[in-house]
């Protein structure tokens, strides 16, 4: 059964007709117009990172591989939602598929730090309770989004980091792997290229070199590769989650926006659920995910309008990236100010869209 949202527009003509309370004016004052808009029972949207993803740099095989993995991932969440499962469950399990794929910068295939390690960040948020969980800088937890959910549900904290987070993950019975599990040659190659460029620039930091921190050898261009998901379930509950390896060549325990609630992830049943991807430092400063929710909440903007304003703010600061989001009425938005963003949506009719480049 579809849920129907009634929009009742009461035409208040009383003030205008204050001096002439004719029966016609009275009748008009009481007249109502009812619009019914179908609200989808559930909806799900995902991203696999935004960046300089250009068709000319992609092979047909690589493009097909990304599309297939995006579809595999979103179908997992779709099935959960279709069968009445929670948006939290859909977000976690959908992200697991992308974490387990070396195509994305999350879980297996995460980018390398300057010390040639992989340090993973993740977060998840429940729009019903505003409860949230996050982990930063872990090296042994196979699926960081599962750790984020465990932090949310099984601890009294919101964010755990490093060794402590790993001990907690073990205590929770999560799958622990040797750090070498995350290693992929492709990402190591990216690190080497970045370091070579850095050496030539003698440590000079400019915009170009900052972009090079995201250099991806496979698609011969800069890109980000975080994964994320936002979903609305049949009970009207929203959830969002984000998982990443962060940025190539990061050091000093750098943490990006992905595990920061309000930046990388936010969900509120009253507004929307958002997952971000992009240049983390700017997404933290712009408080992207919460800002989108706040614009809907306080200003009554649509999800689309809110997302645009906030991404423009990121651009004004000098950063770039994108978001995927779903609002409480099931409207889905994928917006980005980069050349492309891996993304997919599914609605309650089972309709699937997949995108990579700008449309």
Q: Which of 77, 241, 278, 319 binds ligand ASP (CB under 6 A)?
A: 278
In whole angstroms, the minimum distance from the beta carbon of 242 to ligand ASP comes to: 8
Here's the x/- map for ligand ASP, 25-54, by CB under 6 A: it reads as ------------------------x-----
Judged by CB, which is closer to ligand ASP: 85, or 256? 256
Range in contact with ligand ASP (rule: CB under 6 A) among 53-61, 172-180, 223-231, 296-304 = 223-231
Residue 224 touching ligand ASP (CB under 6 A): yes
Q: What are the φ/ψ torsions at residue 90 (nearest 5 degrees)?
A: -65, -45
Half-sphere exposure for 214 (CA within 13 Å, toward CB): 28
Close Cβ partners of 121 (under 8 Å, ≥ 6 residues apart): 134, 135, 136, 137, 138, 144, 243, 244, 245, 246, 255, 256, 258, 259, 264
Alpha-carbon distance of 149 to 126, in angstroms, equals 9
The 8-class DSSP code of residue 333 comes to E
Number of residues that bind ligand ASP (CB under 6 A): 15
CB distance 120 to 258 below 8 Å: no
Q: Which of 41, 216, 233, 257 binds ligand ASP (CB under 6 A)?
A: 257
Range in contact with ligand ASP (rule: CB under 6 A) among 78-86, 272-280, 329-337, 344-352 = 272-280
Residue 247 touching ligand ASP (CB under 6 A): yes
Chain centre distance of CA 138 = 20
Q: How far is CA 33 from CA 10, 13, 21, 24, in A?
A: 7, 14, 21, 17
Catalytic residue among 139, 140, 226, 242: 226
Q: Sort strands 265-267 and 159-161 into parallel, antiparallel or unpaired.
A: unpaired
In whole angstroms, the minimum distance from the beta carbon of 79 to ligand ASP comes to: 26
Range in contact with ligand ASP (rule: CB under 6 A) among 61-69, 76-84, 218-226, 349-357 = 218-226
Judged by CB, which is closer to ligand ASP: 97, or 98? 98
Window 86 to 125, contacts with ligand ASP (CB under 6 A): 105
Judged by CB, which is closer to ligand ASP: 82, or 254? 254
CB distance 177 to 142 below 8 Å: yes
Range in contact with ligand ASP (rule: CB under 6 A) among 86-94, 124-132, 220-228, 229-237 = 220-228
Alpha-carbon distance of 344 to 186, in angstroms, equals 24
The 8-class DSSP code of residue 112 comes to P
CB distance 334 to 341 below 8 Å: yes
Residue 320 touching ligand ASP (CB under 6 A): no
CB distance 78 to 44 below 8 Å: yes
Residue 240 touching ligand ASP (CB under 6 A): no
CB distance 319 to 281 below 8 Å: yes
CB neighbourhood size of 100 (10 A): 16
Alpha-carbon distance of 188 to 229, in angstroms, equals 26
Residue 259 touching ligand ASP (CB under 6 A): no
Judged by CB, which is closer to ligand ASP: 42, or 224? 224
In whole angstroms, the minimum distance from the beta carbon of 246 to ligand ASP comes to: 4
Q: Which of 40, 109, 225, 319 binds ligand ASP (CB under 6 A)?
A: 225
In whole angstroms, the minimum distance from the beta carbon of 91 to ligand ASP comes to: 17
Does residue 129 carry a catalytic annotation? no
Range in contact with ligand ASP (rule: CB under 6 A) among 27-35, 123-131, 253-261, 344-352 = 253-261
Alpha-carbon distance of 102 to 77, in angstroms, equals 20
Q: How far is CA 183 from CA 32, 39, 144, in A?
A: 63, 43, 15
Window 281 to 300, contacts with ligand ASP (CB under 6 A): 283
Site residues, ligand ASP (CB under 6 A): 49, 105, 224-226, 244, 246-247, 256-258, 277-278, 280, 283
**Hey, which residues are catalytic here?**
226
């Amino acid at each position: 059964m579809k849920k129907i949202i009634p929009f009742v527009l009461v035409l208040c003509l009383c003030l205008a007709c204050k001096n002439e309370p004719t029966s016609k004016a009275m009748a008009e004052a009481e007249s109502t117009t009812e619009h019914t808009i179908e609200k989808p029972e559930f909806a799900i949207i995902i991203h696999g990172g935004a960046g300089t993803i250009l068709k000319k740099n992609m092979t047909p095989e690589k493009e097909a591989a990304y599309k297939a993995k995006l579809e595999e991932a979103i179908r997992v969440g779709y099935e959960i939602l279709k069968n009445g499962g929670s948006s939290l469950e859909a977000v976690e399990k959908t992200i697991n598929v992308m974490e387990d794929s070396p195509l994305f910068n999350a879980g297996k295939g995460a980018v390398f730090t300057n010390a040639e390690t992989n340090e993973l960040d993740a977060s998840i948020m429940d729009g019903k309770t505003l409860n949230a969980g996050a982990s930063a800088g872990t090296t042994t937890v196979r699926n960081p989004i599962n750790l984020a959910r465990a932090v949310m549900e099984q601890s009294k904290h919101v964010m755990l980091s490093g060794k402590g987070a790993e001990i907690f993950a073990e205590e929770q019975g999560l799958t622990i792997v040797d750090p070498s599990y995350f290693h992929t040659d492709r990402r190591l190659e990216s690190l080497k290229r970045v370091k070579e460029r850095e050496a030539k620039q003698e440590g000079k930091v400019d915009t170009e070199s900052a972009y090079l921190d995201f250099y991806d050898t496979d698609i011969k261009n800069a890109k980000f590769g975080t994964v994320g998901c936002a979903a609305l379930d049949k009970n009207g509950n929203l959830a969002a989650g984000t998982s990443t390896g962060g940025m190539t060549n990061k050091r000093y325990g750098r943490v990006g926006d992905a595990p920061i609630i309000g930046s990388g992830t936010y969900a509120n049943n009253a507004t929307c659920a958002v997952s971000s991807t992009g240049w983390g430092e700017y997404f933290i400063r712009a408080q992207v995910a919460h800002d989108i929710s706040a614009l809907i909440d306080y200003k009554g903007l649509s999800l689309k309008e809110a997302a645009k304003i906030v991404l423009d703010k990121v651009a004004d600061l000098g950063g770039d990236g994108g978001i995927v989001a779903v609002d409480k009425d099931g409207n889905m938005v994928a917006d980005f100010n980069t050349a492309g963003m891996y993304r997919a949506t599914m609605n309650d009719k089972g309709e699937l869209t997949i995108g990579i480049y700008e449309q």
